[in-house]
Amino acid sequence: MNLVKRREKRRHESLLHDQFLKAVKYLNQFLPPSEHIAYMSFDVARCNKASNVSSNVLTKMEEIAFKAVQAHGCHSRCHTPDQWTIARRYQILSQFSQQMDGFFFNMA
């Protein structure tokens, strides 16, 4: 999702919008159609200026996010508690062994 302004008096953020769109189109030409990067542009400032009071920015973004998750699913990369425990134990043991190496080295 691109949250950069599209329409401005002086082109600042809208230049980024154009370049981002070009980059997505460029990358999509190398991907099969089933794996194309879905591009969506949403101008927060424009939505705020809308005359309709019921068009709340967060409500609109929630709708967009819900549709995106329905279409593409949700991906999360985090360690399971078991992986964390093993990694933490390894870290503690390696620190302990380094301390013990220094201890025995100083005794000689």
Q: What does the radius of gyration of the chain's CA atoms come to, in whole angstroms?
A: 25
pLDDT by residue, tens only, the chain of 108 residues:
556 666 666 766 667 777 888 888 999 999 898 888 888 877 777 777 765 655 677 788 888 888 878 877 776 666 566 666 767 777 777 777 666 665 555 554
**pTM over 0.75, yes/no:** no
Contact 62, 70 (CB under 8 A): no
Exposure on the CB side of residue 51, measured as CA atoms within 13 A? 0
User: How far is 32 from 36, CA to CA, in rounded Å?
Assistant: 6
User: How far is 5 from 42, CA to CA, in rounded Å?
Assistant: 8
- Domain borders along the chain are 13-72, 78-108
* pLDDT score at 29: 93
* pLDDT score at 46: 74
* pLDDT score at 81: 60
